[in-house]
Amino acid sequence: MELQRLYSYTRKAIDDYKMIDDGDRIAIGISGGKDSLTLLYALSGLRRFYPKKFELVAISVDLGLGIQNFDKIEQLCKSLYVPLHIVPTEIGKIVFDDRKETNPCSLCAKMRKGALNEKALELNCNKIAYAHHKDDIIETMMMSLIYEGRIHSFAPVTFLDRTGLTVLRPMMYVSEAEVIGFRNKMDLPVAKNPCPVDGHTKREYIKNLIKQINMETPGVKDRMFTAIKDKIFNTDKK
């Protein structure tokens, strides 16, 4: 995926769902993975020419799970003029050692978001941008349907009452395949996820299930996304 196409997808999402206002200070959640680094490129580039002026900061929550080298990511943030703040935590120890969670992802995500929100408020941000892409949205809907018995997915814009922060998902129109292409083209400095259950989760199972269905019936993923956008997101906007 070319950089200009990434800008186009991101700007469409921002415009369609009125994600950014003049004077916003937006925190980008940086995990070290390909998705968050792609979002970093997208928003730092759009900042230069988008008609509404906004500021950016990058925040990474260190889960305390071992070595995850962020040196190259720090260099990338500097080159894009986005300050990076790393938040040290003991989330990994709490989840895996103290609590010994058999299904650790839910608690880990909750604690990670809490640490991210707290730092964003400390840095005077009013919005947080997550790097959830099109495939994430489809997978979340399928997980909700299969495991919870309801039709639900990430919303493009979510206001958090308890913090006053607004969560944005500007990469909602970008597919994972396009993110992978962008990572390869730009040689993004991805920092390997040290989580011991990475690649062995319910989400990974659902990802492979959707991939198989799409291979057997081409176009299924696109039709699923259209249904989510029309039936869930349009309802959320009313």
| pLDDT single digits (tens) 14-70 | 999 999 999 999 999 999 999 999 999 999 999 999 999 999 999 999 888 766 788
Amino acid at 27: A
**10 contacts 133 by C-beta, under 8 angstroms:** no
Whether the pTM exceeds 0.75: the reply is yes
| Residue 38, domain extent | 3-237
The CA-atom distances, in angstroms, between 85 and each of 28, 56, 203, 205 are 10, 12, 28, 33
Number of domains in the chain: 1
Q: Cα–Cα distance between 48 and 8 in angstroms, integer?
A: 14
What CATH number is associated with residue 211?
A: 3.40.50.620
> What DSSP line would sit under 78-98, residue for residue?
HHTT--EEEEE--HHIIIIII
Closest by CA to 46, choosing from 22, 10, 2, is 10
**pLDDT, average across residues 78-101:** 87
pLDDT bucket at 106, cuts 50 / 70 / 90: confident
